[in-house]
A = this chain, B = another copy of it.
């Protein structure tokens, strides 16, 4: 018995000839013209383009979705062209040909709500990636992984073994060319080294005001807040403080007990996390200055 993603494996890539080019750098005249001219010259059509200027930082951002099915040249030539224009304008670029699904690994502990939501919405065709493995510091969620036929690896972690274990995990991730690690309520602090080795998205609760430290839902209840929230962000050195990708809240009242807060929090967490993962695997995010431009889907 299994819920493996029949739909997706039958149709390897939804639109096999659509690439994504993301660029950013100092704002200046001529950037848009240069890149659109470049793509046009190579026979690539611009399917979609979004741009943004952070006026206070004087930075320019653009995401171009282009069709290369009638490309007149080849990938290497276009890549060289992009590099050349970037150099001229002092821009950074990320060029994705969109013909290889991103490889995503999920890390979990015992909470299962985020894992289920990721697997089910992936299976419904909403997340255009491969979920190639699940890592956990506990064996509990093995059956969930089995049901979706996703390899499940248990890596027990103690304070003393953390570095060694992370090294093993990173090797496994590297072997499978994992592009993104999703911390789906993984209840371990990961090291700076880990965050720097691969893209990592984390989800955590958020409150107004913030309740730093343990038992935040209990403290939110004690404080009588009227809203609880969740934040999905890239994990960086300082775990809860990486670039924010998505946030949402839900209303609560004095009638909600701690259990209700936890229940509503789970619903928030899973939806906000999937939203963020979807933006990442669709190449819609550009990170800079510890924050994100998230282009619309």
Q: Are B54 and A254 in contact (CB under 8 A)?
A: yes
Checking B30, B46, B113 against A32 with a beta-carbon cut-off of 8 angstroms, the contacting residue is B46
Q: CB-nearest residue of chain B relative to A287?
A: B224
Q: In the assembly, what is the distance between CA of A254 and CA of B87, in Å? A: 25
Checking B45, B209, B255 against A297 with a beta-carbon cut-off of 8 angstroms, the contacting residue is B255
Q: In the assembly, what is the distance between CA of A103 and CA of B285, in Å? A: 39
Q: Are A253 and B290 in contact (CB under 8 A)?
A: no
Checking B2, B32, B247 against A36 with a beta-carbon cut-off of 8 angstroms, the contacting residue is B32
Taking each of A36, A54, A120, A267, which has the highest tally of chain B beta carbons within 10 Å of its own beta carbon? A36
Q: In the assembly, what is the distance between CA of A209 and CA of B47, in Å? A: 31
The minimal Cβ–Cβ distance linking A118 to chain B, given in whole angstroms, is 12
**Chain A interface helix/strand/loop/mixed:** mixed
**Total residues of chain A contacting the partner, CB 8 A:** 75
Taking each of A221, A255, A257, which has the highest tally of chain B beta carbons within 10 Å of its own beta carbon? A255
Q: In the assembly, what is the distance between CA of A297 and CA of B264, in Å? A: 12
The 8 closest A-B pairs by CB, nearest first: A224-B291, A33-B40, A29-B45, A33-B36, A206-B208, A226-B247, A254-B293, A32-B36
Binds B, one of A78-86, A130-138, A143-151: A143-151
Chain B residues with Cβ below 8 Å from A52 are: 48, 254-255
Q: Are A224 and B206 in contact (CB under 8 A)?
A: no
Q: Are A246 and B223 in contact (CB under 8 A)?
A: no
